[in-house]
Amino acid sequence: MRETAEGVTSAVTGPLAGPRTLLLGRYDAADRLAYVGRTTTLPRAAGAAVAALLTPAAPGHPWTG
């Protein structure tokens, strides 16, 4: 059995041009972005494909540092 849920790609490890993993978040009941997990290591081709969809975080991103 497989379960799915929607999440927000909120951060990456590695460079934006070729991320190695995606860190995922979901908004809680108080509308705060909370970390829920990460992907397995992405193959280079998948990282490059995902990179085209990513943009740098805007000021005020809820995960700082």
pLDDT digits (tens, 9 = 90+) for 14-63: 998 999 999 999 988 988 888 999 999 999 999 999 999 988 777 877 77
Using DSSP's 3-state secondary structure scheme, residue 19 falls into coil
The pTM (predicted TM-score) of the whole model is 0.76
> Hey, where are the domains in the chain?
8-51
Token representation of residue 52: 């085209």
d(CA 18, CA 62): 23
Q: How sure is the predictor about 64, in pLDDT bands with cuts at 50, 70 and 90?
A: low
- What's the confidence (pLDDT) of residue 65? 52
How would you classify the pairing of strands 33-38 and 21-27? antiparallel
d(CA 44, CA 30): 36
Binning the chain into helix, strand and coil, the percentages to the nearest 5 are: 10, 30, 60
